Each structure stands twice: as structure tokens, then as C-alpha cells.
Structure 1
Amino acid sequence: MSQAAAQHHGEKSASPLGMAIAAAGIVYGDIGTSPLYTLKEVFAPTYGLAPSHDSVLGILSLIFWSLIWVVTIKYVFFVLRADNQGEGGIMALTALARRASAPFPRLQFVLVLLGLFGASLFYGESMITPAISVLSAVEGLEVAFSGLDHVIVPAAIIILVGLFLLQRGGTARIGKLFGPIMVVWFTTLGALGIYGILQAPEVLKALNPWWAFNFFAVHPGLGIAILGAVVLALTGAEALYADMGHFGRKPVARAWLFLVLPGLVLNYYGQGALVLIDPSSVRNPFYLLAPEWALIPMVILATFATVIASQAVISGAFSITRQAIQLGYVPRMQILHTSSHEQGQIYIPAMNWALLTGVILLILGFESSGNLAEAYGIAVTGTMLITTCLVSSVILLLWKWPRWFAIPMLIGFFIVDSLYFAANVPKIVAGGAFPVIAGIVLFILMTTWKRGRQILANRLDEGALPLPIFIGSIRSNPPFRAKGTAVFLTARPEAVPHALLHNMLHNQVLHEQVVLLTVVYEDTPRVPVSRRLEVDNYGDGFYRVILHYGFMDEPDVPAALALCHLEDLDFTPMRTTYFLSRETVIASNNRLGMARWRENLFAFLMKNASGSLRFFNLPVNRVIELGTQIEI
């Protein structure tokens, strides 16, 4: 979830124009800054493409029709319909695909793995986007002033360090400026584009798709490879879907159709017109398109736009991390709330500093947007391809659209996404290995954590005492019952928690009311408060309580328990004590577990994961934690 976007969530009374402006500021920052570097990279020496008349028109046609097919048709008209109770994004889509493929366990397993890998690739993109965007904006100083190339890298690092430092305080105030600034940005893009097109109207011929096909016919070998640069025009397309939940499908679509798409197309064609007039301008057609007097204002405006684009992916990484934690794929981390009014505005310190470290290393390692472009694309196209696979399962298995219509359309999406992905595969050798390696590492971490938790649950179940037997022993040999309520958090509601057994063993006491509390996360973004609480009375002062949350909900156990209206249960804060179990995992040679290195990795993750106290918002002075060692 985009933090800055979250302030708009729930503003159902906002005008359509206001919602569209807000969407332009939050959703389109990434794709909106693509004109800074796309055409420059297409004609970079890497590909050896000369800026001739036919090649310029061919590239412009490819960019235009890619924006139409991939972004407009695929995402705006179809993928945005695949909402999970109004929420979008790769994790929400994975939950939806898991539900759609429930009758087919093997397919479900594959789709979940694809979704996890897509989420892993997003983190690689979250590091590259701020680096390439801010670098490309600051590189305008080279055009405006000669001899300033040595300040580009330090200036970009200073800007980005400042941006990451701002995360701790929240971005609500800055977020209010995002929409108007990006409206100015896209309007300026369009105006500069018209200025260029008027100098060479012939460039409008590239609206004809024939020029794209002609480019492939003339350059059969180079045609596919050049898609690795053309795809830079599509970076950020996933944001349309990821941030849909904050504004709804219609405002996101309107902002794209009436502001963003026209601004982008006009600017690309304006840059193309400039290259037709002066082929040497390919060194930086974006800034050279602007009149000389407007260069400094454009550098400033572009810097603001790239900071906004960076903010969107940073806060998006926070959101995906929280969703992954709620769904059980990532260890619990400290999550801080930067707003007392909007639960979507969150800050995850560990993720923030990890992203900043990655961004700084990228800037120091690649030193220019041109070099970074070699690493960019593989994560984006991989995520786009995975989205197509996941949404296909939803369309065919959940919605059950007519196959004569759905299958040809999905094949078209798959072919185009596959071509773009194949074009970016060679980048792995030239620097694109970074997001792939980052994705693989994160994928291993997520699957190890998920699998380790399953094995741990099985180990605990092996030695667990069934609750009915325990209650029966209490009846036959009643212990001393202390006043108040004891809440034992457990993932296994039918078994006696280890913390309860340890408490009985060492303290020889039992509270008047004993609550076995289990928190369950659904495959839906939010669970209504009316369905939050489920209570069973076992008698003899024993109760089972199950709390239901969605993966976008904020778990607050005391607040949820306050919803319980049973007269026998008293959750008065000063009469309620929470007992937590903390398992220390020990790797073993058990052949039924994981590989030894994965067991050691899981043990490390368990040791460093945040506890339940902060995660469930438990009162610090009312928590008792009891530990146990488990071999897996």
C-alpha cells in the first residue's frame, strides 16, 4: 500500500476530478518519469541503433502501441477488474488466484510460488526505481552546466538519503502535494511534446502500427533486443493495480486515459521529432527538448517527480511486507504507524534501511542512469508476466468468462509479456543479475519461513496435549484458581498451549477464566468487525476465541477482545494477563524436515523475528512470555 495514497482511502465523497488528480500523484509517479531515460537508452551505443528516420518512427510506434496494449488494454481494462474486495497488488492477486485454483491443489501450489516470486522481484524493483529515477533527473545538470558530472552521484545520494530519512515521520503532508505536482509534470510533458511535434509533424506517422512491424522486418535480430530498452516506457505499470484500492478502478483509469497517457505519448513523440531534426540530441532528448531558459526549472520539476516516484515504490514495499507478514510468508517485523487517523500509513525500519542500503550500493556501483538501465527491466517484466499467469487463473476459474473470448486475449497478453521478458534476459549478464539475485534470495527466505512454520507446528502438535483431556484432569484434580483472565495465544486452538502447561507446572495455579486465543488471517484484504470474533465455551472456565483478520487489517487483540459480550468473560485490562510462547528452534538431521542449511536459516529468522507483544498491540505490563526449545 502506498503510504501517501492511504490518506485518500475511504474518501468516497471526493469528486471524480479530485480522485483522478490524487491517483495521478500516487499511482503514476514511476511510469510518469520514464520519458527521462527511455528514448535515450533505446539509442544508446549498447544496442547500436542509429537514429535514422525509419528507426525513430519504428521505436515511437513500439512505445505507443506497448502503452496501448500492455497498460491500457491489459491493466486498465482487464487486470484492474481482478480486485480482492477492492484491493490490488501482487499479494492480493495471489490470494485471489489461490482461491480460484482451490479445486486443483498442484496448480494452486504453482500459482502461490509464482506470486511469491513476483513479490520478491518487486523488492528488487523497489531499489532500482529510486536509483535510476533520481539519477536521470539530476543528470539534467550536465545538460544545463558543463563540468558538473562529478556532482551527479553525490547529489542523487543526498536526495535519496533525505527521502528515506523522511519515512520515519510519515508522508501525509508531502503526499498532499503529490497530485498537484504530478498534474503540473504531465501537463509540462505534454506541452514540451507539442512544442517538439510542431517542429516536425511528420513524427505523428508513428501512430500507425505499420512502423512498428516495419522496424522488426528491417531489424529482425535487433528488434527483440531493443524491447529491453522500450520496456522502460512501461515501468510502473504494476502500480496501477497495486494502488487501485486507494482510489477505485474508475479514478485510476480516468487519470491514465485523460492525463497520463496523453502527456507521455506527446512527450515521446516530441522527443522523437527533436531526434529527427537533430540526431545528435539522442544523448539526452528529454532535457534538450526544453528551451534553454527552462532547463533549470525542468531539472527541479523532474527531481520532484522522481522523488514522488521513489516514494510510491518505497511505501509500496512497506505495504507488501506487511501483507506478507499477515499471510505468514515473512517473519514479524517492527511496524510503526505514522498517522493516528490512517492505518495504511506505516513505517518498517528494517525494510527502510535495507532499501536505502541497496539504493546507495546501486548508485555507487552503476554511477549513471544509462548503466542502471542495463539492470532495469528484468524484475518489471518478470512481475508483468507473473501477473498475466495469475489473472488468467482468476478469469478462467473464478469468473469463468467465455473461453472463446478469454483465451485469445490472455494468449495475446502472454506473448507480449514473454517477448519483453525474453528481451531483458540478456541484461542478467550486464547488470540485471542484481534484481534477480535479490528476488531469489527473498524467495528462499519467504518459502523457508513458510515451510519452517509448518514443520514447527507439526513438531508442536506431536507432543501436544488435547484440550478435552486437560480439562478432564482439571475437573478431577482442581488446582488453585487465581482471579482474573489468562489469555494464551496459540496457533493450535484444539491443543493445550505450551505456555499454559509451563505455567501449571511451575506456578501450580490456573486463572478463573482461561482463554485460548488464535489469530487467523483470511485471503481477503479486510474482515468486517461483525465477523472478527468467534467464541466457544468449553466449561470449567475454559474458552476458545478465534480472531479473524484480513491481510490489510491492523491486528489489535485487546480492542478485538473488547467486542466480546459474554457475561462470564471479563477482559478488563487490569484483570487480564496475556501469556505468550516463544519457541527456540534447533536444527536437526531429521529427514522429514528441510535441508540443514534451511533449518539453520529458519532458526536464525525465528531468533530475530519480532515477538507477538508489539505485533498484536498487547499491553507491555500485562504480558508473560514462556519459552521452549523445539528440534525441527
Structure 2
Amino acid sequence: MVCWFVTLFIIGIWRITYKPSILKAFNPWEAFDYLLIEKTRGFYQIGGVFLSVTGLEALYADLGHFGRWPVRAAWFFVVFPGVLFNYLGQGALLIVDPSLVDNPFYHAVPNWFHWPMVVLATVATIIASQAIITGSFSLVSQAIGMECSVPVKIYHTSKTIIGQIYIPTVNYILMILTIIIIIGFGTNASITNAYGVTVCTVMVFTTILYMCVMHYTWHKPWYMILPFGLFLIIDGYTWASNATKIPTGGWVAIVISTGFFIFGFCWFFGQLNLRRFLKIHSQTTSLHTLALRLGLSESNTRQNSNSSVNDLPIISTASRIDFHDEIDSESDDEDIDVKNKGSLPRVASQVRLVENVPIKRTSAISSYIQEQNNIPDHTISAVITPSVGCFLTSSTKHTPHVFENFLSRTHSVPQVIIFLRIEHIKSSTIEDDKRLAVKQYGEGIFHLTALYGYSENRIKPFDILTLARTQFNLPIPDDESKVTIFTPNETIKVSTVGWASWIRRWPLYFYAILKSLYPGAAVNIKLAPENTINIGILAKLK
């Protein structure tokens, strides 16, 4: 690319020497004077002139791959001088010989350098398209982070720069759309019209959103925001000129962008309603109160059955949690201490099972303590099963929805309950001795946080549990078949009960289709199908 822009710069300087008066184009008044003289004709020609600045959107969309300063340096010292002086050279050529207006770029090239220039331009086109592709990867990755897109597989191609990513799904979508557009349009002129409308619209929205960020996020005063209205006036004028190309090809850009907007909005709107539904209909319990809720107080331990779990060793609960002190001492913004590791003592005794353990629906400690000797009617009975259950979670303080639904549907509790939370950090990898953080909330109840670098894609829950057994003596069996992984699987049903307009319902119908196509488990987690149980949740959204 450096060779390409240097070549453009040299050709432009060479052609400028034929007509140095072209340097008057640096005077902004020349542009205003031209528009005043030509009027309507000048307005329409702005749409053609605008194509000289297309490509800039690929630069700032690619910031995540190269950083701010490399992009700035490349623009001011390589791209901008090369493109600017080449356009001036083409203008000087047309002043000398207006008959070359059909293709001033290649007419400006010396005859002996024509075919090498064609080869160089082809290679530069292939390389430059990579900026659009990688920029699309960055935009989709950000959309996934904001829950405006279905989570898809993301590969990190660098161990030093977190922004260098590859998304196969986006790559294939771009390939299919490119083939369709090339076959459908057939000529460069029609594609150029669509491209101009697209880029100009992006610039208008960028200016508007930047002003909104200054006001709502940075809380800048109005006298600092209003000067940016000058850019909005310029963008609006150029967009009005490009809008005349919508009937001749620009409509394709509007259709594609509208389609992606509907896709992102429906997913965001659906996820918002799903979270609201789960919050109302699938209550969670504080991990601090879970042991009391399961009846695992000092006076009610698992000692009423002779069954065992194949001599499964259990972590000592001698330092049983003092729930009142623990709740008061832990705040919601507590950070995970990755160094919180140490060997927890193993005991020789085996866990005994009970047949019927009263499970309280509410997590209120005080009312349970008052009523634990006289179980009310609103409790349910559950059986402690001789198994190890691992429930995927995203919380450090509450039980996941999948656990609550499993408990309410099966009326059973695994003998060893592990809540596994997988968190990604900004480093590419992390050492095993710093990977895990374990907290014990009662006899056989553990919360395990596993940290992974952004380049670590193959995550196996059983490998995490095996590492926890090695480092913390967690009661994990050697046989993977004895560990069951529980994952949520939400099924969306749009409720038609009550009043709701079709404008509110159609995004939910589309979201239901997307949710059925997207698997519930995280895309980077490798789950063994024979040891995985999906707990279904029927969410009636409205």
C-alpha cells in the first residue's frame, strides 16, 4: 500500500508541473464560487465529487486492529498526500486536455507504465478491501458486546492486540453479498452510486452521534457542541446531493442497512424483554443463604440416609459460613481475587443422603430460621441425589436461573453443587495457577470462577473442574461421566394475552426465530453432549 500511495504522489506531482495553476484548488472560495455559478448543476456534481473522500470510514472502523496513532500517521503522512496530489494532477491534465475526461486516472499515467499500474491497482484494491472486512469484524464484535447481535464465533488472531479478530460468519455474509451485488449491478457506475449513498449516510450519523456523546456522556456545554453543527451542515448538503442517486442504485445500500438494523434491534429488544421476564418469573437466591435454604444448617445436615456417592471425598465444612457476618461483609462491587487459592482440607467421612429435604422458595433468612422447625405449606420437598452438578452462571452472588428451574421441576439437588462462572480477561492467556477462584457457601456448595484469555477458545468445563480438584481439593470424580453440566435453553413464545400493538410484537416474533437458531450455551465452551442437560425455560414475552 505504501508503494501504491507513493506512486500516486509521484504521478500527481509530475502532472501538476504541466499546469501549476491547479494549486488554486486549495482556496475554499473556489469551491463556493463554483457552486454559486453552477447552482443546480453544481449541486448534483457534489455527489460525484464526494466519491473522492470515500474510504475514510474504513480507517476509523479499523481502529481496533491497528490503534489510533498508526491510523493517524498513515493518513497524514501517506494516504492524504498521495491521494490529494494525484487528484490535483488529474485536474491539471484535464485543464490541458479536456478530452481525457473519460478516464483521467489512467490517462495521467505514462504510457510505458500503464500495465504495471493496472497490476499495482489490482493488488491495492485487494489489500484495501481487507480494511472493510476487518472493520466489519470490529463492528460486529462491538454489537455482540452491546447485545445488538447474535453471539457468533470470534477468533483472535493476535496474542498481543486484542482487537485483531476474525469472524467466519461475517466473512461469509460479506462474500455472499458481494457476489450478489456484482451480479445484480453489472457496472461500476451503479455500484458507485450505492457506495456514495452508504458512506455519506455513515458520515451524517457519525456527526449526530458524536454530538450526542459530547452532550449526554461527556456533559460538554452547548457552546462547545454547536460548532460541530458546521460539519453536520456540510454532511447534510452532500447527503442531499447523493440522495439523488437512490433510484439508480443507492436503494440497495438502504435495504441492506435497514435489514441489519432490524436484525440488531430485534435481538436487543428480545434480550431486554427476556431479562425482564426472568427477573419476574424466575427468582434467584443469594449464594450466602442457599445452604440455609437447602436445610444445611448445623442442626440439619445430610445425615439421614445410608447412601453414598461411590466414596466421593467431600471438602471439610468445619469453617461453615456465618451467613449474617458474610452478608454484611461482602459488597456488590467486590472484585474477584484471582490469588484466592489454597488447599482446602479433605475429610475421610462420606456424605449421607436424606430422602426429603424441605426447600424454601424465598431467600429470606430470618423467616426461614423462625419456621425451620415447622415447615409451612409453601415449601417443596427435594431429594439429594448422589451426583455432581455443575451449573453455568454469570453471577458471583446469586444462583443462576437454570438452577432454580432445575430445582422447581425435578425436586432434587445434586450432592455436590458447583456454580461455574467463566470470565474472559484482556490478556491473551493466563497461567493455571492464577486461573481459578473458589468460594465455599456450605457443605457441597461451591462457586468457581475461571479466568480465560481472549485467545483461549477451547474451554472445557470438566478440565476446569479437574484443575479445581487439583488446586483446591474439590470433590470432583475422575470419571467425566459422573459430572453433569446444566445449561439454560430458553424457548420464546410471544404472548397474545392483553393489549399490545403489532409494532411491539413483530420484533419478538423475529427474536423467537433467532433464539431458536442460536444455541443457549456459550459458543466458546466445549460441552460433552452425553454429560450435558439443557434445562428449558418457556418465556412468554409481550
Asked whether the two chains share a fold, i.e. TM above 0.5, the reply is yes
Partner of 1:293: 112
Partner of 2:535: 626
Question: Aligned partners of 1:343 and 1:564: how far apart in 2?
Answer: 31
Distance 1:528 1:350, change over 3 A: closer
Partner of 1:440: 258
Say which of 239, 245, 249 aligns to 1:427. 245
Identity %: 34
Partner of 1:539: 442
1:514 aligns with 2:334: no
Q: TM-score, normalised by structure 1?
A: 0.62
Whether the 8 Å contact between 2:149 and 2:268 is mirrored in structure 1 is yes
Q: Residues 525-578 of structure 1: CA distance to partner in whole angstroms, max 9, x if unpaired?
A: 899989998876543444556789999997968699979999475789958653
Distance 1:400 1:630, change over 3 A: closer
Question: Aligned partners of 1:361 and 1:394: how far apart in 2?
Answer: 36
Say which of 504, 516, 519 aligns to 1:607. 516
The equivalences for 1:507-586 within 5 A come to 508-515=412-419, 517=421, 538-543=441-446, 567=472, 574=480, 577-586=484-493
SS in 2 for 1:331: coil
List alignment gaps of at least 5 residues for structure 2: 301-355, 358-382
Partner of 1:47: none
Distance 1:566 1:360, change over 3 A: same
1:416 aligns with 2:323: no
The equivalences for 1:372-383 within 5 A come to 372-383=191-202
- Counterpart code for 1:388: T
The equivalences for 1:206-221 within 5 A come to 206-221=25-40
Question: Aligned partners of 1:571 and 1:280: how far apart in 2?
Answer: 82
Whether the 8 Å contact between 1:489 and 1:579 is mirrored in structure 2 is no
Partner of 2:181: 362
- Counterpart code for 2:121: A
Partner of 2:51: 232
Say which of 306, 323, 336 aligns to 2:125. 306
- Counterpart code for 1:366: F
Partner of 1:14: none
Question: Aligned partners of 1:305 and 1:572: how far apart in 2?
Answer: 58
The equivalences for 1:16-165 within 5 A come to none
Question: Aligned partners of 1:607 and 1:302: how far apart in 2?
Answer: 45
Distance 1:461 1:397, change over 3 A: closer
Instruction: Return the index of the structure with the highest Cα Rg.
Output: 2
Question: Aligned partners of 2:50 and 2:449: how far apart in 1?
Answer: 47
Tell me by how many angstroms 1:480 deviates: 2.9
- Counterpart code for 1:598: P
Distance 1:340 1:277, change over 3 A: same
Partner of 1:598: 507
SS in 1 for 2:138: helix
Partner of 1:12: none
SS in 2 for 1:215: helix
Greater fraction helix = 1
The equivalences for 1:421-500 within 5 A come to 421-467=239-285, 471-475=291-295, 477-478=356-357, 479-480=383-384, 482=386, 484=388, 486-489=390-393, 494=398, 496-498=400-402
- Counterpart code for 2:258: I
Tell me by how many angstroms 1:187 deviates: 0.4
Distance 1:614 1:403, change over 3 A: closer
Please, what is the CA RMSD of the aligned residues?
4.0
Whether the 8 Å contact between 2:391 and 2:400 is mirrored in structure 1 is no
Tell me by how many angstroms 1:297 deviates: 1.0
Question: Aligned partners of 2:189 and 2:283: how far apart in 1?
Answer: 62
Partner of 2:372: none
Q: How many residues align?
A: 447
Q: TM-score, normalised by structure 2?
A: 0.71
Question: Aligned partners of 2:240 and 2:451: how far apart in 1?
Answer: 42
Question: Aligned partners of 2:494 and 2:518: how far apart in 1?
Answer: 17
Say which of 2, 16, 22 aligns to 1:203. 22
- Counterpart code for 2:142: Q
Distance 1:490 1:340, change over 3 A: closer
Partner of 2:91: 272
Q: Residues 127-173 of structure 1: CA distance to partner in whole angstroms, max 9, x if unpaired?
A: xxxxxxxxxxxxxxxxxxxxxxxxxxxxxxxxxxxxxxxxxxxxxxx
Question: Aligned partners of 1:382 and 1:308: how far apart in 2?
Answer: 24
1:257 aligns with 2:76: yes
Q: Residues 345-400 of structure 1: CA distance to partner in whole angstroms, max 9, x if unpaired?
A: 54433322222221112112222222211212222122222222232244445555
Distance 1:232 1:563, change over 3 A: farther
Question: Aligned partners of 1:408 and 1:465: how far apart in 2?
Answer: 48
Distance 1:365 1:502, change over 3 A: same
Distance 1:247 1:372, change over 3 A: closer
Question: Aligned partners of 1:493 and 1:584: how far apart in 2?
Answer: 26
Q: Residues 148-203 of structure 1: CA distance to partner in whole angstroms, max 9, x if unpaired?
A: xxxxxxxxxxxxxxxxxxxxxxxxxxxxxxxxxx0000000011111211222221
Identify the structure with bigger relative contact order (alpha carbons < 8 Å, sequence gap 6+). 1
